[in-house]
Structure 1
């Protein structure tokens, strides 16, 4: 396990970067043209980035990026 210490400015920047990455992956996951294996790999990466973001985000901010797993498994 690694640990990092961030000041306020760095924490905000990290949050910004993670949000942008999550936004991009959500866009990719909604693209039906992508192969199922590619979408599965993106979904796995999304879970990792989401857990990182969950450590610094408020519950309100985090709820924007929560995904409905039941919907995803059916498509």
Structure 2
């Protein structure tokens, strides 16, 4: 286990970066040109980023990604 001390501005930036990266992954998962193996790796990365987001953001901030997470992981 690791601890991290950040200022409020840094926390907001971290949340923003995580959400932006997760949105990009969701867009790429819908791209039919990307191979299944690559998509599997992208889903794993999304899972990791989502867990990170749940640790640094309030539930209202990551709720939309939870719905997307469930929908995309079923495919």
Normalising TM by the smaller chain, what interval?
A: 0.7 to 0.9
- Indicate the RMSD between aligned Cα atoms, in angstroms: 1.5
- Given the two structures, how large is their TM-score scaled by the length of structure 2? 0.85
Residue 25 of structure 2 corresponds to 25
* 1:56 equivalenced with 2:40 (yes/no): no
- How many residue pairs end up in the alignment? 73
Residue 14 of structure 1 corresponds to 14
Q: CA deviation at 1:32?
A: 1.9
Gaps of 5+ in 1: none
Comparing 3-12 and 57-66, the one that deviates more: 57-66
Q: CA deviation at 1:72?
A: 3.6
CA distance in 1, matches of 2:61, 2:8: 17
Residue 68 of structure 1 corresponds to 70
- Given the two structures, how large is their TM-score scaled by the length of structure 1? 0.85
- Cα distance change of structure 1 residues 24 and 59 upon mapping to structure 2, 3 Å threshold: same
More helix by share: 2
Gaps of 5+ in 2: none
